[in-house]
Structure 1
């Protein structure tokens, strides 16, 4: 393709991307009509505009419907541990293909992918003499990483999805791509991470993709694909990076007192007063200026408030009297303005990934030691020796439940452990969790207009 053609196409694409990014602060799902033409000033044509595009890429990851709210809510609400105060569809497992919770998240993740696709198309062709090879490679590596993260999140939520690697030039002319299987999608994610690893250096940057973040996401991917050797290997690679990553001394040390980018963070999404994290309002009590849409369920409140089971993780809870009643809320997000970071990868997960992988392979004492590192930091008693493999796996699942209460893990953990139905039944005996709820419904517009095959029984 000639350079002029690439410039014309990328100018058009980037205009659409910028429009979507500017409108992404709205919580409602919007249908955006693409413009006929776009000013060339918004295209990626040099080092400066490439850096603008990369900032837009991370902003897309942190958008309201992705790690800034929507996708994270899909990870913790349909688990029985969190109630959605204004919409009980997720809380009560009334999964619908036309529900905005699924439609907006799907669209937001694919919008993020489209930005990454655009960067990957254009960056190799840039001729700006001020753009060094190191900077070019880093930009390519970051785009590969974000695209891997996006497809991983799609796969664990919806199963196999259409794999799009070319940027959309015109929405009306968008190529119709059939769904890949979940296995094929995970294989694509691994290939993306391999490419990212080739292009990224060993620097430590907690708000941008790095080689460490690649290794951490590889460990998570291998956990989901049950490659226990590889999961333990890559978790260990991250844990062993000297003077880079370590657990904070106290449990709340990684989020309390307005701290950001602690040594526990491998990757977090940064926000600002101009670009705020919407989870803060939705998690916060009315008396503290929030909308209080997400409420911890009674069972998890009791578990956290019991020193023997919650330890210092009780710091994940906030409380205040509202309407004469003591109410509990999440305390992970609390800043004003809402500049709270969104946590994508942190070191505690790597210890629990390694613990689970070791336990699966019958390395029970090594697994126990990793579990106790996490429990000790939470002021909980050590797990004694002599536990069976299944007992340790159950303990790890319970640790993950509390450790990542307000992060995008619990629903997906229960699904991959085959325990979604049984665990939710303990907390919500009147709610029927059907087996096909192990995946989300493909959004109705993608089925009717995009001709995608719907997940069974939806």
Structure 2
């Protein structure tokens, strides 16, 4: 879907999502049109509903609900789709912008879903900024939430496709023919958005009675720590991760609880599949289903040592039609009516320790790096590492990220590329691997609609 298409659907989606997610908080007499956005931001309640709708539609999109996890998991070395051969194109990394195969369609949907989210949050930022009816304090919070989400969306886009258009306005006359921006420019905007948001977002979860779906300044800091790691700004990554770790709101919990709503390790969770009382998520629906769809790649499953409790608690074995599959089991529920309420973990404390460990190692802070990594290892039932060699520690940190963060929004796929290990790891695993596959091709439909877009190298 191109930016030009968004103007025809976004206004209706914004309000429709608001109605669904706000649960009768406010009634809106008629669907909003493009010309009545001024009315959406004419009162505090309507503006809150608009942000709620933008959030709801974005986090429940296929991209955020499941596809970032499963597409990236198949492209890397985490998951295989075994119900049929529809997604072989992703698992073998032979996706083509000209192909009509299901695999490429799934890759293309990431682009359209995430850009739709960016359009929604740009709409909120523009509407709130232009409004003279809203309280200044509310305007500040609404814009901060929208900037955080825009930054999160662009984090995924730049890591999926690399050079992409940096769209900061809703006027399609301006945006529809935008060329791609460099990854450096995209990251600069992400950092600016997150720093702005961090300054004014709440410092705790009291506004929603402790619900960790609230976007706090610590969520902005945690995402900043990740971005600084990805852009090799090691000291800044350490500083942001340390702020999150030391603030006292978060604590490492048990392995079995990392998906439970409002657990102490969660820095930010998205809502569950259906409602506040629903116990299951898209993650559970797709990965912990009662029949086999996805199975863990053998190389990942066999890489857990016998004493690693993650290999025992986060992998579920089942048999379907006499075929044994091994499913990621961080999310256990796939139906309603359960006493175990789960929500997707967008940011959690274990990653912050591993971010600080990796960044510290790059600054030759070996003892700090090992100590932070060991917090994650010991929680998993592994003995503490005593390694002092930097190269050995680097591989151990990579291993901990692989085993701690698998099937969580595609971080393994991103890790392999940013550390320069992707050709070594996937080249040894997949006979079909080629270096160009490290980034997905831009959707051909987007290039057809915008002649200023340039396809990623080697896909032409």
TM-score (norm 1): 0.85
Q: Tell me the residue number matched to 1:213.
A: 219
Where 2:65 maps in the other structure, the secondary structure is coil
C-alpha contact (below 8 Å) 1:114/1:168 kept by paired residues: no
CA–CA distance in 2 between the matches of 1:160 and 1:14? Answer: 28
C-alpha contact (below 8 Å) 2:78/2:297 kept by paired residues: yes
Q: Tell me the residue number matched to 2:25.
A: none
CA–CA distance in 2 between the matches of 1:389 and 1:16? Answer: 51
CA–CA distance in 2 between the matches of 1:192 and 1:237? Answer: 18
TM-score (norm 2): 0.85
CA–CA distance in 2 between the matches of 1:124 and 1:40? Answer: 12
Indicate how the Cα distance of structure 1 residues 19 and 111 shifts in structure 2: closer, same or farther if over 3 A, else same. Answer: farther
1:286-297 alignment, distance < 5 Å: 288=290, 290=291, 292-297=292-297
Cα-Cα RMSD: 2.8
Matched, 1:96 2:93: no
Q: What stretches of structure 2 of length at least 5 have no aligned partner?
A: 1-6, 21-30, 206-210
CA–CA distance in 2 between the matches of 1:118 and 1:367? Answer: 42
Q: Tell me the residue number matched to 1:439.
A: 439
CA–CA distance in 1 between the matches of 2:293 and 2:447? Answer: 30
Matched, 1:406 2:404: no
C-alpha contact (below 8 Å) 1:313/1:378 kept by paired residues: no
C-alpha contact (below 8 Å) 1:12/1:38 kept by paired residues: no
Q: Tell me the residue number matched to 2:49.
A: 52
| 1:354 positional shift | 0.2
| 1:303 positional shift | 2.7
Where 1:83 maps in the other structure, the secondary structure is strand
1:284-433 alignment, distance < 5 Å: 284-285=288-289, 288=290, 290=291, 292-304=292-304, 306-308=305-307, 310-337=308-335, 340-385=342-387, 387-407=388-408, 408-428=410-430, 431-433=431-433
Matched, 1:153 2:151: no
1:127-142 alignment, distance < 5 Å: 127-128=132-133, 132-142=135-145
Q: Tell me the residue number matched to 1:227.
A: 233
* More off after superposition, 14-23 vs 152-161: 14-23
User: Once the two structures are superposed, what CA deviation does each residue of 1:46-76 show, in whole Å capped at 9, x if it has no partner?
Assistant: 2112222222222233224222011222332
CA–CA distance in 2 between the matches of 1:12 and 1:62? Answer: 17
CA–CA distance in 2 between the matches of 1:40 and 1:218? Answer: 31
Matched, 1:246 2:239: no
Indicate how the Cα distance of structure 1 residues 398 and 146 shifts in structure 2: closer, same or farther if over 3 A, else same. Answer: same
User: Once the two structures are superposed, what CA deviation does each residue of 1:210-231 show, in whole Å capped at 9, x if it has no partner?
Assistant: 1101110110000000011111
User: Once the two structures are superposed, what CA deviation does each residue of 1:65-115 show, in whole Å capped at 9, x if it has no partner?
Assistant: 222011222332211221122321111111222511221110110111011
Q: Tell me the residue number matched to 1:195.
A: 196
CA–CA distance in 2 between the matches of 1:36 and 1:138? Answer: 25
Matched, 1:61 2:58: yes
Indicate how the Cα distance of structure 1 residues 42 and 35 shifts in structure 2: closer, same or farther if over 3 A, else same. Answer: closer
Where 1:321 maps in the other structure, the secondary structure is strand
CA–CA distance in 2 between the matches of 1:174 and 1:96? Answer: 25
| 1:18 positional shift | 4.5
1:2-41 alignment, distance < 5 Å: 14-15=11-12, 17-18=14-15
| Runs of 4+ in structure 1 over 6 Å off | 19-23, 34-42
C-alpha contact (below 8 Å) 1:266/1:347 kept by paired residues: yes
C-alpha contact (below 8 Å) 2:358/2:369 kept by paired residues: yes
Equivalenced residue count is 422
CA–CA distance in 2 between the matches of 1:312 and 1:174? Answer: 45
CA–CA distance in 2 between the matches of 1:375 and 1:71? Answer: 26
C-alpha contact (below 8 Å) 2:14/2:50 kept by paired residues: no
* More off after superposition, 330-339 vs 367-376: 330-339
Q: What stretches of structure 1 of length at least 5 have no aligned partner?
A: 1-9, 24-33
